[in-house]
Structure 1
Amino acid sequence: MARDARTSRVDLYAAIRRDAKAGLSKRALQRKHGVGYRTVTAALASVWPKEPKPPPKRGSRLDEYKSVIDGWLRDDLDAPRKQRHTAKRIFDRLLDEHDAAGVVSYGMVRDYVATRRREIRIDAGRDPVNTFIPQTHLPGREAEVDFGEVVVRLRGELVTCTLFSLRLSYSGKGVHRISASAGQEAFFEGHAHAFRVLGGVPTGKIRYDNLKAAVASVIGFSRQRVEADRWTAFRSHYGIEAFYCQPGITGAHEKGGVEGDIGWFRRNHLVPLPEADSIEELNAMVDVWDRGDDDRRISSRAHTIGEHFATEQPLLAPLATEEFETGRWFTPRVDRFAQVSVRMNKYSVPARYVGRHVRVLLHASELVVYDGQTVVARHERLMTKGGVQLDLDHYLEVLLRKPGALPGATALEQARKAGRFTPIHDEWWGAACKTHGDAEGTRALIEVLLLHRHLAHEHVVAGLAAALRAGGHTADVVALEARKAEDSTHDNGDIPSAGDPADSTRSNTTGIASLTERRLRKPLPVDTRPPPTVDQYDQLLHSRSRAQE
């Protein structure tokens, strides 16, 4: 409405000026256009109508208290940070000390304090005005790194993980990695993965905040840092030049590119919550998302991220020829529960190592246990403190001697939750105990569990199902049926399901083929060896007869 009224007034002024040039007097102009003397005078003086004066500002019931509030806010400049006035405290003081009840409301005080507090700090030189300076980044020179928290659904449970992000400043290409922790291992593995994906290392500075994985301590409010020893070695290995941002929110503005990248990645790829069975599977999804983001345009750029990166990639410094060990080594002692303690969590190892020292390599999302150069255990890293990760296979030899400990074993409960100990295992176990008794039936189950070391999980489950249908409650029967399932996989390329009937061509009336029949079905290999000769034996006989003569 205001724009239309102003436009019509411009037309009125133009008409008045046109008629004045035609020779009409001011009085005639007033009569023709139906306006007053002042309007005609203003139109002849300027082609643009003057802006109407704003109405006088209405007073507020808070006006008489503003000077008091300003005084309290100025006193807060030198008060301890945790003992300064809040809007609620100011409102209460106005009621108690200045009889403002019924005159001002809390909303009036809150809105005034929200604006006036910052103005007073700026006037006193305590807060700078938020002004951002546009930056130009050269290709292949700079990057930014940061961590962020993300929530995912891992094996059906909501867990909080850490998202590592390295973003090239010129092209905006980001490389991301999800890990179980935000420790130094995740920090190093994120860098190593990003450099492999990018095919090089930025030749200039990489911006960091004060991550504990890199910085041991901050010296005052300067940019000087005491770096962690392993981080110094890692930087030297890859030729990284680190630039540390200022502490606090000011430093976050110095690497706003990666801060925004983490938020964009969370909103666009992690909504709704992704579901995966392992962090490795989750990172495979992240790699696909990163490649897809190459087709994205940032803001009003003319080219996509991938097109800018094609220009930037040849300018990156080449990678080091040798890999840097990103994991951290530990040498714990195996306790009497066949467990090692690493970072306030416990992980199982084979029971034969009880009392010995082993080497543990801790990665961002995995833990590997070595005996010398041999891998003896491998676990997914726990995300909590005080957790226990057990593998039932590590206790099977002990359970053969102590079968009564199996029903209540923590390792068995974890195997059930992980899906490695299936309902078919439980059903066969119950049938075996009913046939042979609890102790012997449990020992038979343990012998079946030992088969998992040599046969695929699917084949053993198929063998258990076939043995159940046939009434075979011994480990030998399960082993035979599991081998048949393995042979069927090799022959047909698939695994018979636990609910399918047994193949009549490969079993007898009881559903269990004899070992002899199974061997006879296979064709014998062609013997290409030369026939044997007895010439040398005949020579020995002749030599012996001559000696007797």
Structure 2
Amino acid sequence: MITMSQKYQTLMKYMHEGESIRKIARDIGTHRETVSKYVKEYEQKRNQLMEGGEDVDVEALIEALTEKPTYTTGSRPKRKLTPEIEQRILTFLEENRDKRQKGQKKQQKTVMDMYEVFEDEELDISYSTVRRLVRQLEHRAKEAFIKETYMPGDVCEFDWGEVKITVDGRLQPFQMAVFTSAYGNYRWACLFPKQTTECFQEAHARFFAHVGGVHTTLTYDNMRVAVRGLAGEKGPTEGLMQLMVYYGFQHRFCNIRRGNEKGHVERSVDVVRRKAFAIKDTFESLEEANHFLEGVCSEKLNQKSMSQYEGQTPKQRLEQEREYLLEAPPKWDAARVNYARVDKYATVVIEQNRYSVPDHLVGEMIMVKVYAERIRCFYNEACIANHERLSGHHRWNLQLSHVLETLRKKPGALAGSLALHQADQKIKAIYETYYTGKERDFIALCHYLRDEGNLDDVLASIDQLEAMHPKHVTTDKIKAICARNNEQPITPPSSQDTEAIAEQARNQMSDYDQLFQMIATKEGIH
């Protein structure tokens, strides 16, 4: 077996560099039959995915393409100079620079001081090793910058930036994912609740779908969702490797604290953030904020003529490089899978927030798929709940339909319930206008809405009953009106033999009207 990193190297060398199976096996240190196996599996499954068809299980193929190979790790000797120790020494040197700037030159740590810190922590490293590393890190030549030129479809740069905006009446932070094409400075951005793996993957999936292809190389700085091992030898995280294997692109990492090596995107974050949210920073929902952000990028930033491109706009440059982009497979299903037990409130807890599920599942273990903006819950492979993902902590997202069985047993709890408070405003208005003090009847109406009815039909029925008198607004009468309104109108055929059927239908419709007139007369309403 090979590691996920070796699997990625194998596929990249074969697809992008055209190396032979034998050379790849020699370079990565494994048997050529193993290399051949993974190349053949990848080509077969990717061809099935790209060809599509009704019989193709897209999610199964995505999982097969990006799954981590199973293997048994061997025991490897540990190096004394570990990435953690190197990072600690970099931190010590950074502290020394800060002290020099503050006039505390005599309070810097010497090499011996650094070594004694490691000695006190019982780390196995020699003084000479510490001294040699400090000397290497401190005596660096001054940095020179290289002006790069880019080929169409080659490089795209990615970064995160924090944005604070007011959404749904609350000022809260969001993470803005920003992509910038190096060839034409084309910018695309999207807001997410957090900087997590599923948000990172969803950002890529949306961008590739937006541009209609995949750039050959994606460039990142040392963000934790993309890079593992910040000091010493770095490598892509499993989440990034899944994206690279699925979409077929390569990666490049900047050196530590060298975000300028990306060239474009560091400034792109500032430009996009200022051009969008310095103008408007209050929105009803995250969806509205993202729609506004996309409009700023597409209609303002990407339509601006640029002198370095002979007056062309970034959008025009993107059109030029489309033919050089890698073909994009179906959109990646970016979700993290959790398993959670339903608590006594008929909720599951995800990242310190609660989401409701049907109350008959209290005590059961369910599967939860955590997307960038959605939470979907499954029980016995059926989707039982679909929620908007909450930002922040200790918040609740409840659906009234999930607790109806409990409310049927405890109708007195309805008025003060958080589920009613969070319900659709139209549902709340129906309760407050017609059902206060008649909780059991309202719960029966909610059951009808969940199992059979439609809210628009119910509102139309209430309007008809309200026209006679508010006292007519009951669940049984609403259901009767809905049934009458939903009857299909009968178009009488030309044959005289079926004319009687049409006449009978018209008489039945008339009987409904007479029924309600009799009810009104009996109750003394004129």
User: Shorter-normalised TM-score: what interval?
Assistant: 0.5 to 0.7
- Corresponding residue to 1:260 among 257, 267, 272: 267
Whether 1:282 aligns to 2:294 is no
Partner in structure 1 of residue 85 of structure 2: none
8 Å Cα contact 1:188-1:326 kept in structure 2: yes
Partner in structure 2 of residue 147 of structure 1: 160
Partner in structure 2 of residue 475 of structure 1: 475
8 Å Cα contact 2:420-2:428 kept in structure 1: no
Deviates more, 1:150-159 or 1:191-200: 150-159
- Corresponding residue to 2:447 among 450, 453, 461: 450
Q: Using the TM superposition, give the Cα deviation of residue 79 of structure 1 relative to its aligned residue in structure 2, in angstroms.
A: 6.8
Q: Using the TM superposition, give the Cα deviation of residue 138 of structure 1 relative to its aligned residue in structure 2, in angstroms.
A: 1.3
Partner in structure 2 of residue 214 of structure 1: 226
Partner in structure 2 of residue 86 of structure 1: 102
8 Å Cα contact 1:358-1:371 kept in structure 2: yes
Partner in structure 2 of residue 273 of structure 1: 280
Pick the structure with greater CA Rg. Answer: 1
Q: Using the TM superposition, give the Cα deviation of residue 187 of structure 1 relative to its aligned residue in structure 2, in angstroms.
A: 0.6
Tell me the matched-pair count.
Answer: 369
8 Å Cα contact 2:209-2:331 kept in structure 1: no
Partner in structure 2 of residue 491 of structure 1: none
CA distance in 1, matches of 2:95, 2:247: 47
State the SS of the aligned residue for 2:273. Answer: helix
Change (3 A) 1:196 1:77: closer
Change (3 A) 1:176 1:334: same
Deviates more, 1:467-476 or 1:373-382: 467-476
Q: Using the TM superposition, give the Cα deviation of residue 81 of structure 1 relative to its aligned residue in structure 2, in angstroms.
A: 5.2
CA distance in 1, matches of 2:307, 2:328: 31
Partner in structure 2 of residue 58 of structure 1: none
CA distance in 2, matches of 1:364, 1:254: 28
Partner in structure 1 of residue 365 of structure 2: 357
Partner in structure 1 of residue 406 of structure 2: 398
Q: Using the TM superposition, give the Cα deviation of residue 209 of structure 1 relative to its aligned residue in structure 2, in angstroms.
A: 1.1
Q: Which amino acid is the alignment partner of residue 210 of structure 1?
A: N
Q: How does 1:361-376 map to 2 (within 5 A)?
A: 361-376=369-384
CA distance in 1, matches of 2:401, 2:417: 12
Partner in structure 2 of residue 118 of structure 1: none
Kindly provide the CA deviation profile for residues 354-411 of structure 1, in whole angstroms up to 9, marking residues without a partner as x.
1222211110011111123322101111111222211111101210111011122122
Partner in structure 2 of residue 334 of structure 1: 342
Change (3 A) 1:392 1:515: farther
Q: How does 1:194-343 map to 2 (within 5 A)?
A: 194-203=207-216, 205-220=217-232, 224-248=233-257, 251-292=258-299, 293-298=301-306, 300-302=308-310, 303-320=312-329, 322-343=330-351
Q: Which amino acid is the alignment partner of residue 460 of structure 1?
A: V
State the SS of the aligned residue for 2:472. Answer: coil
TM-score (norm 2): 0.63
Change (3 A) 1:483 1:254: farther
8 Å Cα contact 1:170-1:308 kept in structure 2: yes
Aligned residues with identical type, % of pairs: 26
Q: Which amino acid is the alignment partner of residue 337 of structure 2?
A: W
Partner in structure 2 of residue 55 of structure 1: none
Partner in structure 1 of residue 12 of structure 2: none
State the SS of the aligned residue for 1:331. Answer: strand
CA distance in 2, matches of 1:397, 1:515: 35
- Corresponding residue to 1:380 among 382, 385, 388: 388
State the SS of the aligned residue for 2:385. Answer: strand
Q: Which amino acid is the alignment partner of residue 208 of structure 1?
A: Y
CA distance in 1, matches of 2:206, 2:145: 32
Change (3 A) 1:515 1:228: farther
CA distance in 2, matches of 1:285, 1:449: 36
8 Å Cα contact 1:467-1:473 kept in structure 2: yes
Residue ranges of structure 2 left out of the alignment (5+ in a row): 1-91, 106-136, 489-508, 517-526
Q: Using the TM superposition, give the Cα deviation of residue 145 of structure 1 relative to its aligned residue in structure 2, in angstroms.
A: 0.5
Q: How does 1:88-237 map to 2 (within 5 A)?
A: 132-203=145-216, 205-220=217-232, 224-237=233-246
Partner in structure 1 of residue 458 of structure 2: 460
State the SS of the aligned residue for 1:149. Answer: strand
CA distance in 1, matches of 2:194, 2:511: 51
CA distance in 2, matches of 1:341, 1:409: 19
8 Å Cα contact 1:181-1:365 kept in structure 2: no
Q: Using the TM superposition, give the Cα deviation of residue 183 of structure 1 relative to its aligned residue in structure 2, in angstroms.
A: 0.6
8 Å Cα contact 2:201-2:239 kept in structure 1: no
Q: Using the TM superposition, give the Cα deviation of residue 141 of structure 1 relative to its aligned residue in structure 2, in angstroms.
A: 0.7
CA distance in 1, matches of 2:514, 2:187: 57
Change (3 A) 1:452 1:81: farther
Q: Using the TM superposition, give the Cα deviation of residue 208 of structure 1 relative to its aligned residue in structure 2, in angstroms.
A: 0.4
Kindly provide the CA deviation profile for residues 481-521 of structure 1, in whole angstroms up to 9, marking residues without a partner as x.
56678899xxxxxxxxxxxxxxxxxxxxxxxx98734999x
RMSD of aligned residue pairs (Cα, Å): 3.3
CA distance in 2, matches of 1:131, 1:255: 15
8 Å Cα contact 1:462-1:485 kept in structure 2: no
Q: Using the TM superposition, give the Cα deviation of residue 133 of structure 1 relative to its aligned residue in structure 2, in angstroms.
A: 3.3
Deviates more, 1:178-187 or 1:157-166: 157-166
8 Å Cα contact 1:167-1:257 kept in structure 2: yes
Change (3 A) 1:182 1:467: farther
Q: Using the TM superposition, give the Cα deviation of residue 473 of structure 1 relative to its aligned residue in structure 2, in angstroms.
A: 4.3
Residue ranges of structure 1 left out of the alignment (5+ in a row): 1-75, 91-123, 434-440, 489-512, 521-549
